[in-house]
Structure 1
Amino acid sequence: MRNERRAAVSGREIVVTATRTQQEIAQAPASMSVVTGPELRRRPVQDLAEALENEPGLTINGVGMTRRGISIRGMSNEHLLTLVDGRRITDSSANMAHVDFDLGWVPSIAIDRIEVVRGPLSALYGSEALAGVVNVITRRPETRLEASALALQGFRDGKGGDTSQLSAMVGGPIIEDTLGVVAWGEYRRRSRTTSEADPLQSELEAREALSGSVIAWWKPAPGHRIEIGQAVSDDDRARDTVTTGTVPVYYEYQDHVTRAQTHGSYTGTFDWGEVQARVYRSVLERDNERDRNQTPTQPTRAVDFVADARVTLNAFAGNKLTLGAEHRNEFLRDSTINTAGEDSVNHDALFVQDEWSFGGLGSLTVGSRFDHHPAYGWQTSPRAYLTLTPVEGLVLRGGAGKAFKAPSLKQLSLGYITVAAGGRFIITGNPDLKPETNTAYELGAAYYGKGWHLGATLFQNDLKGLVQTICVESCSIRGQERRAYVNVDKARIRGVELSGEWMPLESLSLSASYTYVDPQDISNDQSLAERPNHSAKWKVAWDFLPGSTVNLRGRYIGRQTIYSGTTAIRLDGYDLWSADVSHDLTERVTLKAGVDNVFRKRLAETSALYTYAEPGRVFFVGLGANF
């Protein structure tokens, strides 16, 4: 862990997401942060929202039905692109409401690191990357056979909400420097919690998931690598809830979600550059059940097939030119989308990126992606980013770029119709929708001293054509009101990020960050909802004895605006603290223990308007083993 901390403090962590090529994070043409796998394995982490809750510029918001999403710099969770080893996964939120299924693909035992890019990256990754990118990099033990196991049990201070995790990973070379394999599996669960305001309803849903993956690689010759893999997951959710009609009916709501991804890739390294070709297919199926004669949501099957390739040319000293292409087929089977009950669309793209290095003085990265969508033709996503190092340790950075998000298949379908909000209204599609766009600007500076660093970044996002539903017929008449998707809103989100880290001793690390966000809905001259103006994160890590480490983490989420009808309400800010300790019982076995939400902060007890519930105080204990 000390080596990881030193790399983080000095800015020497190696990242790939900002350009698809390796570079130190201090020189990367983007605002980035990294969460390491060993750090995650110190505590019970159920999904990406919990893994990233202490990262700069990120806040966790509610997406409905007790579920949570990730917001970057005040942007919607729907504007975040999630990747696993650089591969996009099925975007469940595009065609299903109130879902967080994209956040639980990889367990902590299989994670090498998570790279977070704060800022649009459609120039590289296409649609959905308006706010940024989260890339989960999985472990690849290649030099020797490795085996790991992790067991964690959490006990909530209250009724329900206990958690369990049991996972294992094994991998390594079968034939040295030629053939290898890695496999992992995990079982995790969380029991539902009961609402104190209404004991017949769940404050947090129950979860039970089983997942696994197998990846094999072959190096037929030096510099050449072929990789194939298969990942699967079965995820069950359940909660107690109530209808919104005049005669309330209490019932149980269940989601059964299965996911799979099959992937293969080839990477070749030559004197003149690198070639990569990939193909992968992601499938997500959701079945819904409800008792007490309540009508369930119709089954959904979403399939993404992607084939892409890129060539990186070392044209001359200090220059890397990357050319690439991508074909993506998006398929959806859902009885509500049209009379046929299914639809599909092809996304095709070309992209180019040129990286100029000025030696120790900095670098310039320019590029653009050209995406074609049958509904609205070609979209261009340009980007330029400059980093300068005028003196040793000082890094100046700035850039601008444009990103877009294509409307979903349901939003674009003329035949789409669904009942929403417990029967209060229906929603229909609109084939005339235009894509949402974001033009972003960023300017920052960081200084890396001996054992410390400080950084500051100014940012602004100008969003246009945000897709919303508005009433178009029989407004305010329950059961007859009809709403349609339209491009109505313009928004401007600007702010500043401050961050720093200090290692006064080899055994002690202190880090902190602060983010101010000014989220304005320009169309309606009001603040955007659920975007806290202020947030702060801090962490202390101390190796108080050889083989023993304690971590203290805290985060403050400031005041935010919530709308009840047309009335703006300001919710108070709150702070959350957690602590964990680990001790090496032997060279290979580690005992872990800790507590999340030390002071038992309960948002539901403060106001029912918070869009998700904190589970309260949770104690946990566990064992980790590495061989």
Structure 2
Amino acid sequence: MNVLSRATLLALVPLALPTPAAAQVAAVAAAPARAAHDLEQITVTATRTEQAIKDVPATVDVVDREQMDRTLVRDLKDLFRYMPGVSVTSGFGRFGIGDIRIRGLDGNRVRIETDGIAISDAFAIGSYSDANRNFVDMDTLKRAEVVRGPASALYGSDALGGVVSFVTKDPADYLAPGKDAYLGFKLGYQSDWQGLSGGATAAFGGERWSGMAVVTHRQGRETGNRGDNESRDDTRTAPNPQSRDGRSLLSKLVYAPDAAQQFTLTVEGNEDRSTTDVLHMLGFQPSTRGTTLLMTGDDLQTRARVSLEHELSGLDGSLADSLTWRAYRQDSETTQDTVEERIAGGRPQRREREFNFDQRVHGLEVEAHKSFATGNVGHVLTWGAEVSRTDLAQKRDGRAVDLLTGASSNVVMPDVFPVRDFPRSRIDNAAVFVQDEITLANGRLTLLPGVRVDYYALEPQDDPIFAEDNPTMQSAEITESNVSPKLGAVWHVNDDWSTYASYARGFRSPPYSDVNLGFTNLQFGYAAIPNPDLRPETSDGVELGLRHSGRSAYFGLAGFYNRYDDFIESTVMVSRPPETPLVMFQSRNVAEAEIYGVELQAGVELDGWSEALQGWSLRGAASWQRGQDLTSDQPLNSVDPARASIGLAYDAQDWGVSLHGRFAAGKTRLADPADFAAPGYGVADLLAHWDFAPGATLNAGVFNLADRKYWDWADVPGVAADSAVLDRYTRPGRNVGVSLAVSW
């Protein structure tokens, strides 16, 4: 069943399930018109209330639909291309885009959500299994918001490093008074992966009913790099041949029985598939003492969700002026098949490996807002509750076939298939939170205290496959509760200048895959065992900032310090013979770390200096970070080197052009001096847009204008400095992108 069929099926499933679970808040405010400058943009994610960025005691970035279109965003790396301090990892070979990294933390320590619903976890084990969280089609979004730093006081576990909130389009984004129908088409091409994309959007509206559907399709090949060795062995530096195909559906039906309430039913599905000829894995493999003649990968990931939301306003109750409840179900699945033909011991053999990672979640959330005053002090109280249930299953299966006799075996060393690396698991979450936005001193001082209480219960399920592979292991149950406070303050010195300070507590519950990771390999003499005593990872973060928000210029400077405790390290060796019969591995709370840094953003509309510069603007941002593992007294490799971006733009009434620079310092602090230290770089991009007819827009860009050869640090940690294949990890050379959008 493909993802679009699954999304349609989900829409028919009753939402009142016996064990409902909870959605995170959806940042669903209508996208604002393009702000005068970045600090005037509206964010919802940072405080769960609509606020201009300049009034929020945190560093927040907002990328709206217009910015995405003009910078030709097609994936996560493109989205954060000009956002220093936020990066996206990717890998060579087969699996592509990996994690979003914020202030040195990535993976499941960063919360990613779409319309308030958390994207499924990442999970990887071995060379043939890598489930990422790249589940979002950029063309279905109207904006993306990034909150940097710990955000557990509002978003609970997994928000240790920050929050990335994707907000999808609504019918109201296309309709206006007097316009009750919309039809639009969009076509695009990107040369770095020879990618073609197309999409269609239809919307309708009436007095009470409105709706929309967005359908997109994309296809292309492997993403290019600057490697030119096309050999069919481990010396290859050119990308492996790959075919990629994806599609998505976003549909919404809105019913407003009166002016004070609105129901929204959303059905969304996303599917991406790639097939790869894994040429760099061919040849003699010392680890398996065989020669690989062929290896192919077939990777599929899908996400489907249905949600129902009810918004009520004008309640004027003692506890709420407005209230929103949401219920949802979401299914996310990754399936990866690998076929290898090899010769071992003089006999030809075919090895087939199958990896599956499935996550299903049901959720229910209630959120309310109440405005009131106590004397001369104003309050906006935000409170709510969430419950969720998540079911997880992971399995690796496979077989080895003797190509001379046809004999088949489920033994593919070191595994005897099928195996699970953790038992089927169920996670129940519940939380309550409250935040008070307190306004003092005639509006010049705003305080934002808040607190959230989370309950987390991990229950492994009966799992014969896991039990057979780990007959002596007892899976662990975990029950945890956590209190996450925060306090922020914004002081408006005058109409243009303000300063802020904040403290936030972060936490991350012990992951199921660490608590109950288990496998035994008698041939190689090692085993992994569960750890029921894992403690949550925690953090304490402080941030200070100074901002200027004028008519034609803005400026923001922030300094932050985050201290992390009880980091969980997976599969740490805890004993070895003769102490125990096998080498034993176990996940442990072992690491303490600190990350601190400075971030800057600024911009100016140049016509404020001279009317002759009407239409010209200059924008820039920079980030410097440093991280240290305090347990080992080693630098944190996940912390990016200093980065900066700058853009000079000219906008006329119907067209515009901009020149952007992206810069990175060389990586100098490494945990292992033998690792490759990516050198610094500077890359220029040239972008243009043209509204050549009513409802018709052409966007075009040339990226890496000077055809520079460079490495993004997010793509190379752990690569040896003396590696002969460093060019594998280079970014694409000069490439172009173009899109055409037409609407009626």
* Unpaired segments ≥5 residues, structure 2: 1-31, 341-349, 397-418, 458-477, 608-613, 713-720
**8 Å Cα contact 1:363-1:386 kept in structure 2:** yes
Match of residue 313, structure 1, among 365, 370, 376? 370
**8 Å Cα contact 2:637-2:671 kept in structure 1:** no
| Distance 1:388-1:411 versus aligned 2 partners, 3 A rule | same
Q: Deviations over 1:584-607 (max 9, x none)?
A: 221221222221222223346997
**8 Å Cα contact 2:445-2:492 kept in structure 1:** yes
Match of residue 534, structure 1, among 642, 652, 659? 642
Correspondence for 2:322: 274
Q: Deviations over 1:100-127 (max 9, x none)?
A: 743341332x322111111211111111
Correspondence for 1:106: 137
Q: Deviations over 1:272-295 (max 9, x none)?
A: 411111111111112211112344
**8 Å Cα contact 1:490-1:523 kept in structure 2:** yes
Correspondence for 2:505: 402
| Distance 1:582-1:569 versus aligned 2 partners, 3 A rule | closer
Output the CA distance in 2 between the equivalents of 1:530 and 1:340.
26
Instruction: Give the TM-score normalised by the residue count of structure 2.
Output: 0.76
| Distance 1:80-1:100 versus aligned 2 partners, 3 A rule | farther
Match of residue 264, structure 1, among 286, 308, 315? 308
Offset at residue 256 of structure 1 (A): 1.1
Q: Deviations over 1:117-139 (max 9, x none)?
A: 11211111111111111111222
Output the CA distance in 1 between the equivalents of 2:254 and 2:330.
20
Correspondence for 1:182: 212
Output the CA distance in 2 between the equivalents of 1:94 and 1:385.
37
Corresponding position: 1:594 with 2:594: no
Output the CA distance in 1 between the equivalents of 2:529 and 2:228.
36
| Distance 1:86-1:362 versus aligned 2 partners, 3 A rule | farther
Offset at residue 410 of structure 1 (A): 1.7
Offset at residue 168 of structure 1 (A): 1.9
Correspondence for 2:65: 37
Identity %: 24
**8 Å Cα contact 1:124-1:351 kept in structure 2:** yes
Choose 1 or 2 for highest CA Rg: 2
Q: Map 1:168-567 to 2 at 5 A.
A: 168-173=200-205, 175-176=206-207, 178-193=208-223, 196-200=228-232, 203=239, 206-239=243-276, 240=278, 241-242=280-281, 245=287, 246-247=289-290, 249=292, 250-270=294-314, 271-272=316-317, 273-292=321-340, 293-316=350-373, 318-335=378-395, 341-358=423-440, 359-374=442-457, 375-413=478-516, 416-417=518-519, 428-469=529-570, 470-472=572-574, 483-505=585-607, 506-543=614-651, 545-560=652-667, 567=674
**8 Å Cα contact 2:188-2:740 kept in structure 1:** yes
Q: Deviations over 1:536-566 (max 9, x none)?
A: 11122212x4311112222212222586967
**8 Å Cα contact 1:29-1:387 kept in structure 2:** yes
Offset at residue 418 of structure 1 (A): 8.4
Match of residue 570, structure 1, among 677, 690, 693? 677
Q: Which amino acid aligns with 1:431?
A: P
Q: Secondary structure at the match of 1:130?
A: coil
Q: Secondary structure at the match of 1:41?
A: helix
**8 Å Cα contact 1:113-1:136 kept in structure 2:** yes
Q: Secondary structure at the match of 1:318?
A: strand
Q: Which amino acid aligns with 1:321?
A: L
| Distance 1:560-1:73 versus aligned 2 partners, 3 A rule | same
Corresponding position: 1:138 with 2:168: yes
Q: Which amino acid aligns with 1:262?
A: V
Output the CA distance in 2 between the equivalents of 1:164 and 1:418.
46
Q: Deviations over 1:322-379 (max 9, x none)?
A: 2211111111122368699521110111111111123430311111111111314211
**8 Å Cα contact 1:56-1:513 kept in structure 2:** yes
Q: Secondary structure at the match of 1:600?
A: coil
Output the CA distance in 2 between the equivalents of 1:613 and 1:418.
38
**8 Å Cα contact 1:123-1:383 kept in structure 2:** yes
**8 Å Cα contact 2:72-2:701 kept in structure 1:** no
**8 Å Cα contact 1:353-1:368 kept in structure 2:** yes
Offset at residue 71 of structure 1 (A): 1.3
Output the CA distance in 1 between the equivalents of 2:327 and 2:430.
14
Q: Secondary structure at the match of 2:150?
A: coil
Q: Deviations over 1:10-32 (max 9, x none)?
A: x3222211111112111023211
Correspondence for 1:149: 185
**8 Å Cα contact 1:411-1:431 kept in structure 2:** no
Output the CA distance in 2 between the equivalents of 1:381 and 1:199.
53
Output the CA distance in 2 between the equivalents of 1:248 and 1:556.
42
| Distance 1:528-1:426 versus aligned 2 partners, 3 A rule | farther
Match of residue 615, structure 1, among 724, 727, 732? 732
Q: Secondary structure at the match of 1:404?
A: strand
Q: CA RMSD for the aligned pairs?
A: 2.9
| Distance 1:354-1:456 versus aligned 2 partners, 3 A rule | same
**8 Å Cα contact 2:636-2:670 kept in structure 1:** no
Output the CA distance in 2 between the equivalents of 1:597 and 1:77.
28
Offset at residue 610 of structure 1 (A): 8.5
| Distance 1:263-1:566 versus aligned 2 partners, 3 A rule | same
Q: Secondary structure at the match of 1:622?
A: strand
| Distance 1:78-1:602 versus aligned 2 partners, 3 A rule | farther
Offset at residue 472 of structure 1 (A): 3.5
Offset at residue 401 of structure 1 (A): 0.8
In terms of fraction of residues, the more strand-rich structure is 1
Output the CA distance in 1 between the equivalents of 2:84 and 2:200.
30
Correspondence for 1:23: 51
Residue range with higher mean Cα deviation, 337-346 or 444-453: 337-346
| Distance 1:523-1:339 versus aligned 2 partners, 3 A rule | closer
Output the CA distance in 2 between the equivalents of 1:571 and 1:261.
40
**8 Å Cα contact 2:308-2:328 kept in structure 1:** yes
Offset at residue 76 of structure 1 (A): 2.2
Correspondence for 2:22: none
| Distance 1:193-1:455 versus aligned 2 partners, 3 A rule | closer
Output the CA distance in 2 between the equivalents of 1:63 and 1:404.
28
Match of residue 53, structure 1, among 81, 84, 89? 81
Offset at residue 612 of structure 1 (A): 4.6
Q: Deviations over 1:361-412 (max 9, x none)?
A: 0311111111111314211111111011021211111100111112222212
Match of residue 118, structure 2, among 63, 85, 88? 88
